[in-house]
Amino acid sequence: MYMANLNRSNFPVERRIGASAPDATGIVHLGIGQFHRAHAAVNTALAMAEAGGDWGIVGVANRSRRIIDPMLNQDFIYSILQLSPEGTDVQLVDVHRRLFVAAEQPAEVLAAIADPNHKIVTLTITEKGYNKDGVTGHLMTDSAEIAPGLAGPDGAKAPLAQLAWGLVKRSQESKAPVTVLSCDNMQSAGNTTKAMVTEFLQAAGVDDNTMSWIAENVSFPNAMVDRIVPGTTEQTKAQVEQILGLRDEAPVPAEAFTMWVLEDHFKAGRPAWQAAPGVTFSDEVEQYELVKLRLLNGSHSLISYLGGLSNSPTIPSARDKEFVAKSVHAAIYNEFLPSIELPHGFDADAYVAQLFHRWQNHALGDKTARVGSDGSAKLLQRIPEPALRLLNMGQMPNEMALTAASWIACVAPPAGFDPGEIAAEMEEPQRENLAKATAGAKNTHEHVEKIMTGGFFPTELGEHAEFTDRVAELLDIIVTDGVEAAANNALGE
């Protein structure tokens, strides 16, 4: 049956979230994908409903037209398919006013960042997009993404490089202050972005005046971001079509829960985001980031690798397995929570109970492979510190060792071990380097040692031979008796 496409002429306004943006744009977003569209964009629509403002968004895709072409066909409007055990709902977002692809129009990216009407540059460029070296903590100036941009703006293809040169252009033209707001899952997200941009410009030999201008006129607030937003599938589109009676080629599935905790350091104003449910401005953002990155994302990684190895295609199907739930519970209470300073008045037990509930969202069906992707960039912020804390007290962080062992089993399996289809679907930028590093390992212990001391984890963790021994032991059990046996061993059962 023919189904009309969603567009401005048939847009059911009663389903709109917040307000539509005016034509004037005030935000540039680098890395338009799933999360931005279900989080910052939604909160901006709600803020404009409360307080107005010229906060239309310029959305920049890195390379692909996969999202922006359907959005352009739909006059920028798209659906949020909210999925939860309590029910399904479709709401519409209408806040983007310009969309383009950085790879096709690189000069436009710099011009948009330099435009004084744009007061905020938001980012979702993934953890690996910051090119921060996991061992040194510095920008990887020789990486394939960063190196070509150091010679000048023409060679800048990576969003981080384009951001840096866009700020230089702004400093030479309008000199209008601006805020860069990272919305990626990163510890000290603002400080890290500032450090990577600064190191990039230093390596590019940018002059001191420009560096001082950036230091004084560009703020980089830290922020904790939270909403589980899986990828779009044909089923997402079919569900939207059934509810809306219109075809949307760019819908975003998302859970109902949403949270955003930000530092209120905006150099040139901001939307009234505090009007949106779940948004808080706080001076304790780094504590909130830690809580979220360890309890949610750290546990999420563990669920995904245990799930990947036990044939669970979705996070809820993995979480439903008793050994997975018990492992995550032990990771949280024995290893993650003691490593965190909680925000003032924070109810950790209520937060953990809510997490277990959110991970049970079968309607959302978040994919194990999505959550397990890019582990080499993500585990660095999730495992080493809690592990080192216990190791330095003479105790074994069994669940951190299990996380490392199950990640290795999925993306860098020892010779002869096939981790299965779900693990094969996990994207891992270091897959090739991991394979090179482990080539020729004579046994599981050597295999793990080559990873633990091969620059994939901080040196200090690799120096704890007893941790390497434990990871190797658990990996051996995964290979011989399966992941459930390894999880039970880690639990001491």
Q: Which residues bind ligand 44H (CB under 6 A)?
A: 127, 185, 226-228, 296-297, 300, 371, 374, 378
Q: How far is the CB of 164 from ligand NAD (least distance, A)?
A: 13
Question: For residue 440, with 0-12 CB atoms within 10 Å meaning exposed, 13-18 middle and 19 or more buried, which class applies?
Answer: exposed
Closer of 187 and 468 to ligand NAD (Cβ): 187
Q: Facing residues of 123 across strands?
A: 30, 182
When CB distances are held under 5 to 8 angstroms depending on the partner's kind, the choice from ligand NAD, ligand 44H, none that residue 489 binds is none
When CB distances are held under 5 to 8 angstroms depending on the partner's kind, the choice from ligand NAD, ligand 44H, none that residue 484 binds is none
Q: Are 148 and 142 in contact (CB under 8 A)?
A: no
When CB distances are held under 5 to 8 angstroms depending on the partner's kind, the choice from ligand 44H, ligand NAD, none that residue 97 binds is none
When CB distances are held under 5 to 8 angstroms depending on the partner's kind, the choice from ligand 44H, ligand NAD, none that residue 371 binds is ligand 44H
When CB distances are held under 5 to 8 angstroms depending on the partner's kind, the choice from ligand 44H, ligand NAD, none that residue 297 binds is ligand 44H
When CB distances are held under 5 to 8 angstroms depending on the partner's kind, the choice from ligand NAD, ligand 44H, none that residue 125 binds is ligand NAD
- Cα 16 to Cα 154, 345, 359: the distances in Å are 40, 35, 27
Closer of 114 and 291 to ligand 44H (Cβ): 291
When CB distances are held under 5 to 8 angstroms depending on the partner's kind, the choice from ligand NAD, ligand 44H, none that residue 31 binds is ligand NAD
For residue 271, the number of C-alpha atoms closer than 13 Å in the C-beta half-sphere is 33
Edge-to-edge strand list for the sheet holding 120-123: 96-101, 56-61, 25-30, 120-123, 178-182, 218-219
Closer of 298 and 419 to ligand 44H (Cβ): 298
Closer of 71 and 303 to ligand 44H (Cβ): 303
Q: For the range 376-379, what are the long-range contacts, defined as Cβ-Cβ under 8 Å and sequence gap of 24 or more?
A: 376/128, 376/134, 376/411, 376/428, 376/429, 376/430, 376/434, 376/456, 377/126, 377/127, 377/128, 377/134, 377/429, 378/127, 378/185, 378/297, 378/301, 379/301, 379/403, 379/404, 379/407, 379/457
Closer of 286 and 374 to ligand 44H (Cβ): 374
Cα torsion 361, 367, 369, 372: sign = negative
Closer of 39 and 267 to ligand NAD (Cβ): 39
Closer of 37 and 378 to ligand 44H (Cβ): 378
When CB distances are held under 5 to 8 angstroms depending on the partner's kind, the choice from ligand NAD, ligand 44H, none that residue 128 binds is ligand NAD
Closer of 114 and 380 to ligand 44H (Cβ): 380
**Running DSSP on this structure, what letter comes out for residue 383?**
S
Q: What is the DSSP string of 121-137?
A: EEE---GGGG-B-TTT-
Q: How far is the CB of 210 from ligand NAD (least distance, A)?
A: 23
With CB atoms as reference, the residue minimizing the distance to ligand NAD is 33
Question: Which residues 6+ apart lie within 8 Å of 7 measured at CB?
Answer: 73, 74, 75, 77
3-state class of 249 per DSSP?
coil
Q: How far is the CB of 219 from ligand NAD (least distance, A)?
A: 20
When CB distances are held under 5 to 8 angstroms depending on the partner's kind, the choice from ligand NAD, ligand 44H, none that residue 62 binds is ligand NAD
Q: How far is the CB of 372 from ligand 44H (least distance, A)?
A: 8
Closer of 378 and 447 to ligand 44H (Cβ): 378
Q: What is the DSSP string of 63-89?
A: S--TTHHHHHHTTT-EEEEEEETTEEE
Selection from 161, 216, 241, 171 nearest residue 193 by Cα: 161
Closer of 82 and 126 to ligand NAD (Cβ): 126
CA trace torsion 193, 198, 203, 206 (10° rounding): 140
Q: Which residues bind ligand NAD (CB under 6 A)?
A: 31-36, 61-62, 124-129, 158-159, 184-185, 225, 227-229
Q: How far is the CB of 373 from ligand NAD (least distance, A)?
A: 9
- Cα 243 to Cα 42, 141, 181, 276, 373: the distances in Å are 20, 49, 34, 25, 31
Q: How far is the CB of 87 from ligand NAD (least distance, A)?
A: 20
When CB distances are held under 5 to 8 angstroms depending on the partner's kind, the choice from ligand 44H, ligand NAD, none that residue 159 binds is ligand NAD
Cα distance between residue 359 and residue 388, in whole Å: 27
Q: How far is the CB of 88 from ligand 44H (least distance, A)?
A: 19
Q: How far is the CB of 305 from ligand 44H (least distance, A)?
A: 12
Q: How far is the CB of 232 from ligand NAD (least distance, A)?
A: 9
Residue 177 CB neighbour total at 10 angstroms? 17
Q: How far is the CB of 296 from ligand 44H (least distance, A)?
A: 6
